[in-house]
Structure 1
Amino acid sequence: MLYAILAYHVEDEMLSWTPQQDAAVVAKVIEVQAPLRASGHLGPAARLDDTKKARTLRGPGAGIVLDGPFAETKEQLLGFHLVNYDTDEEAIAAARKLREVNPSAVYEIRPVKLYVPADGFGATATGG
């Protein structure tokens, strides 16, 4: 079974770090990831960029784009897609296409600040 491990942190605290402090934390995280990756247990990892850069697509029809990751309390994070586009507008267009087939979903579109590839980890998963 695959598990998603979601990292939460006080964003203002992280944003107050110097570049050297941030790099030291990232280096430690990568050090912890290395044996997990070597044993075949670690898939893709991503560090999201600042929440002020996030956009949320919600509402009827094509929806409207709002600043920020403002989820309703009844909504829960249930999955994610990683996409590669040059602009926010292209990423929002991709979210709109996803929404066409899942119109009750709310999609948060946020730039990824750090991406660590999976090296072929877990292409598919079934069952539970």
Structure 2
Amino acid sequence: MKVMGTWDSGPFDNDTAADWCGDLHDAAPEARAGMVRQALQSAAESADYLDASEGCEAMAATAIVAAECCGGPPVTSVYAPDFLVEGGRVGLSDDLVPLALRALDRVLGEGSELRQLWEEADGGRSLLAEAEPLRAALLRGAAG
């Protein structure tokens, strides 16, 4: 069973993340880091119920930070921005690593619609399996 608007459990494998990645690809290179920061802040700083769309964007942004700043899983999804799949970079600063960790915790925590949807679909196993390597990379990046 899959969550509506998704085709797999990866951070780029849903309609919202794919649309956000398209916007990131189309953005001027100097605007891209701000877009990643905004997606992370929207999730990390949300005090209310976290909408699934914000969670999807935050997961994609977290995957980008983990890959670029922490040596995490490479961005290889066909739904990710082409410039990243081709080996390009956003030009992120390491100060995004703790923000990405907070955003990931928020997406996986109570009060997150994305978590709730995956809980209903498969007990949350798929979402957690995708998040674990991102978290591990971010923790390495934050430590060192």
TM-score, normalising length: structure 1: 0.29
Write 1 or 2 for the structure with the bigger share of helix: 2
Indicate the structure (1 or 2) with the bigger Cα radius of gyration: 1
Query: Of Structure 1 and Structure 2, which has the larger fraction of its residues in strand?
Result: 1
Q: Which has the higher contact order (CA 8 A, sep 6+)?
A: 1
